Amino acid sequence: MKFYFKTFGCKLNEADSQIIKSILAKDYKEELNPDNADFVVFNTCGVVDKTEKKIIRETKQFQKQGKKVFWTGCLPLITRNNVSNGSIGPNNVLDIKKAIKGNIHIFTEKKIDKSVLCNFKEDSVSAVVAISEGCSGNCSYCGSRIARKGLNSFPRENIIKRIEKINAKEILLTSQGLASYGIDRGKQELPELISDILKIEKDFKLRLGMMNPKFLVHIIDDLLELYEDKKMYKFLHLPLQSGDNNLLKEMNRGYNINDFLDLVYKFRKISKDTILATDIIVGHPKESEKAFKNTIKIIKETKPDVLHVFRYSKRKGTEDAKLKELDVRIKKQRSKYLVTLFQKYNLEKNKSFLGKEFEVLVIKDNNLARTDSGRAVIVKNSKAGELKKVKIKDVKWNYLIGE
């Protein structure tokens, strides 16, 4: 039998998808065209309502075609409307064939070491490596922590063994929050893990995934020393969520604006070209007009190179699910304002790269490449995996164009 597979959501889900597909491949064959598949598997995301509705809509469309649809990932544990033919939670990847064969739903809180389950293709240029699952935070709005429960840091030695087997030119470390790695064992161990990874005698670039400021403040100095290594992309994903201290407190984020700014300023001192990514939630039930203006102020001050703007979405089982939501028009207006602001200043920032020359690592044929710092460059007439010298001829608000 053949299956069609689709991944929704974050890099952590992408890592899980590698595991699930490798398990399914023992009994089934993956089909890239859904029309030719016997059944469908969605690795789902439950972060926002918009994605949930899309997953449900596409599930019903396939079911109308006579195909069974099975869910993995976070959504089965968050939604009140599980319309799949069978599903598993994030901790139950090993049960995927059982769920499919029995058309059943399997959810347990057992912890497993996924670092020994990953099966990467040898010819992959870019590989996503998960180092933990779950979270040590207690954010009032987050549904993902309900689905993935407490922190489970995978053994350091197993992560190293996995990376040693990978021939990828780019390794993307991921989790729900890298900086909390090891806390469940009594100590933040991310600097030690990265140090061990950088000692691996292979030619690759390493990019770190999202890190909560609450936990990063305790290890930032050790990390900054590691960022000096030539293997490290000068990239930091530091989710702000709000530029208002009162709202951050209501969200249970565990840090304040000064913590965020201090981390940003320290990070930007390591190189002439650094890349700061951040996330903002607009339209939280307790986000006043003043709070939103404070967010605008911080964005204008720090000018992140990557800005993800999310409209607040009520999630079942969270503290904030009890609150009255803001009018959807307010959410749309605030989202549009921040996106427009970002696109405008980032276009001007990218124009400063016009005429400059870089050696880039090509990630996708005739398409995406990255500079030494990790900045995205579109390069035609290029082959994935090669190093290529390019000159920036044009720019867009979200990438550079090189020839």
For residue 124, the model assigns a pLDDT of 81
Superfamily grouping for domain 114-347 = tm_1862 like domain (3.80.30.20)
Place of tokens 């030719």: 36
pLDDT the model gives residue 368: 96
Using DSSP's 3-state secondary structure scheme, residue 287 falls into coil
Give the model's pLDDT for residue 120: 53
Residues of the chain with pLDDT under 50: none
Q: Where are the domains of the chain?
A: 2-106, 114-347, 357-402
Q: What are phi and psi of 218, to 5 degrees?
A: -85, -15
Is the distance from CB of 2 to CB of 36 less than 8 angstroms? yes
- Start-end of H helices in 155-240: 156-165, 190-198, 213-216, 220-226
**DSSP secondary structure code for residue 155 in this structure:** P
Contacts 24+ apart (CB under 8 A), 148-153: 148/74, 148/90, 148/91, 148/176, 149/91, 149/109, 150/184, 151/180, 151/183, 151/184, 152/111, 152/112, 152/184, 153/181, 153/182, 153/183, 153/184, 153/185, 153/189
Distance CA 260, CA 279 (A): 12
pLDDT in tens, 142-151: 988 888 888 9
CATH homologous superfamily of 2-106 equals Methylthiotransferase, N-terminal domain (3.40.50.12160)
Please state, in angstroms and rounded to a whole number, the distance separating the CA atoms of residues 180 and 71.
Answer: 28
Q: Given this model, what pLDDT does residue 119 score? A: 62
Six-digit token pair at 274? 């650094």
Distance CA 184, CA 187 (A): 7
Instruction: Please state, in angstroms and rounded to a whole number, the distance separating the CA atoms of residues 245 and 256.
Output: 6
Query: What is the rounded distance in angstroms from the CA atom of residue 54 to the CA atom of residue 59?
Result: 8
